[in-house]
């Protein structure tokens, strides 16, 4: 495979279907000209159903050139967004569907003439399995993930916590965080601050592109689910926290974030701690230079 006009070859690994931020992130990725999305692999729980959500969104966006991979299956159902795609038949997806999404990930990385950027916006059992099967992928890919909590917890306050994407599958995350690839992460310290309100949010709501209409449909469905803490009224005025969009941004730029090279270790309890002795040194977005500019960029990409 060759890079398309200098664009960065990308694989997205996602647990889309639960928190709505994965759907926003996929939309942003598809609208980012710096990135050449080649494969989306579903991760965690009912990965076949998650793949339906991915495939339907790609078809709506007119991007069936992007392959879909079904990740390692685990017990469990996905969130209410799954209803949006429950009747979608993966067999009719015009593009390629890989039953073995991990194998497709390995093949894409190993077959690329340029390093592949692996954007991970969920728990990472797929990545751990890919490393187990083919450790050489760590030398041909870089990892950009939405993971962890270094100095700030959820809701932009309090002490660091065990962030969901890490604690959901802690052992695979430990394996991925020890691998030899170059790593960049956005922990809650930065990604936990992203919520669109006011005119920025309304500009997205007014957008009539099929992809953004589908995004809003999914957002409305998500607010109707149990335990989200959001309601249909929220859809009128603001987004939820858009954690995963920051990982997409860090795949092509870092200008708007404060970056630190920190030795990070994943504990057995799912915390991401700074550990000078045992941590792996990685690039960590620990703050914002210009949060408003990132929000503007996100909106511009989505409505373009």
pLDDT tens track for 272-289 = 999 999 999 999 999 999
pLDDT class of 79 with cuts at 50, 70, 90: confident
Confidence of residue 226 (pLDDT cuts 50, 70, 90): low
Cα–Cα distance, 16 to 23 (Å, whole number): 6
Contact 289, 258 (CB under 8 A): yes
Q: Are the CB atoms for 126 and 72 separated by under 8 Å?
A: yes
Query: Contact 247/120 with Cβ under 8 angstroms?
Result: yes
Q: Provide the pLDDT for residue 4.
A: 54
Residue 221: the pLDDT is 87
Domain 8-303, CATH class in plain words: alpha beta
Quote the percentage of the chain above a pLDDT of 70.
97
Place 6 in a pLDDT band, splitting at 50, 70 and 90.
Answer: confident
Tokens 């689910």 -> residue: 225
Query: 185: closest CA among 148, 131, 155, 139?
Result: 148
pLDDT in tens, 179-205: 999 999 999 999 999 999 999 999 999
**What average pLDDT does range 52-76 have in this prediction?**
95
**For range 106-120, the mean pLDDT:** 97
Give the span between the Cα atoms of 242 and 204, in whole angstroms: 13
**How many Å apart are CA 52 and CA 59, to the nearest integer?**
10
Report the alpha-carbon distance of residue 238 to residue 232 in Å, rounded: 11
CB 145 within 8 A of CB 247: yes
Structure tokens belonging to residue 27? 């939309």
Q: Are 39 and 13 in contact (CB under 8 A)?
A: no
User: pLDDT of 227-268, one tens digit each?
Assistant: 567 778 889 999 999 999 999 999 999 999 999 999 999 999
pLDDT tens sequence across 151-190: 999 987 788 999 999 999 999 999 999 999 999 999 999 9
Q: How far is CA 114 from CA 12, 36, 141, 180, in A?
A: 16, 12, 9, 17
Highest mean pLDDT among 5-19, 212-226, 237-251: 237-251
Distance, CA of 280 to CA of 264 (rounded, Å): 5
Extents of the domains making up the chain: 8-303
In this model, does residue 22 exceed pLDDT 90?
yes
Q: Is the pLDDT of residue 1 over 60?
A: no
- Strands, sheet with 280-288, edge to edge from the N-terminal-most edge strand: 97-98, 67-70, 35-42, 8-14, 116-120, 141-145, 182-185, 280-288, 257-266, 272-274
pLDDT at residue 303, as a whole number: 97
What are the CA-CA distances from residue 60 to residues 57, 231, 276, 299 (Å)? 5, 25, 47, 19
Tokens 């497709």 belong to which residue? 104
Distance (Å) of CA 58 to CA 62, 135, 250:
6, 30, 22
């Amino acid at each position: 495979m060759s890079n398309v006009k200098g664009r960065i070859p990308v694989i997205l690994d996602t647990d889309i279907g639960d928190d709505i931020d994965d759907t926003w992130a996929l939309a942003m990725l598809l609208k980012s000209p710096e990135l050449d999305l080649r494969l989306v692999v579903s991760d965690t729980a009912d990965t076949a159903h998650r793949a339906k959500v991915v495939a339907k969104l790609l078809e709506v966006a007119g991007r069936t050139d992007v392959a879909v991979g079904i990740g390692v299956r685990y017990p469990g159902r996905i969130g209410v967004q799954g209803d949006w795609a429950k009747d979608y038949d993966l067999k009719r997806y015009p593009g390629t569907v890989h039953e073995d999404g991990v194998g497709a990930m390995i093949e894409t990385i190993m077959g690329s003439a340029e390093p592949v950027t692996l954007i991970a916006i969920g728990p990472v059992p797929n990545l751990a399995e890919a490393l187990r099967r083919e450790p050489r992928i760590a030398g041909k890919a870089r990892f950009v993930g939405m993971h962890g909590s270094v100095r700030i917890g959820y809701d932009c306050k309090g002490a660091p916590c065990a962030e969901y994407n890490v604690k959901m599958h802690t052992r695979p995350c430990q394996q991925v965080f020890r691998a030899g690839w170059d790593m960049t992460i956005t922990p809650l310290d930065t990604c936990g601050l992203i919520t669109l309100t006011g005119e920025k949010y309304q500009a997205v709501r007014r957008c009539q592109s099929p992809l953004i209409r589908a995004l809003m449909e999914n957002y409305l469905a998500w607010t109707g689910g149990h335990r989200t803490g959001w309601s249909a009224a929220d859809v009128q005025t603001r987004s939820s926290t858009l954690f995963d969009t920051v990982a997409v941004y860090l795949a092509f730029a870092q200008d708007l974030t404060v970056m630190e090279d920190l030795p990070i270790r994943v504990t057995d309890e799912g915390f991401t701690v700074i550990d000078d002795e045992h941590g792996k040194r990685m690039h960590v977005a620990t703050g914002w230079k210009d949060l408003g500019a990132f929000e503007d960029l996100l909106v511009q990409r989505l409505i373009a």
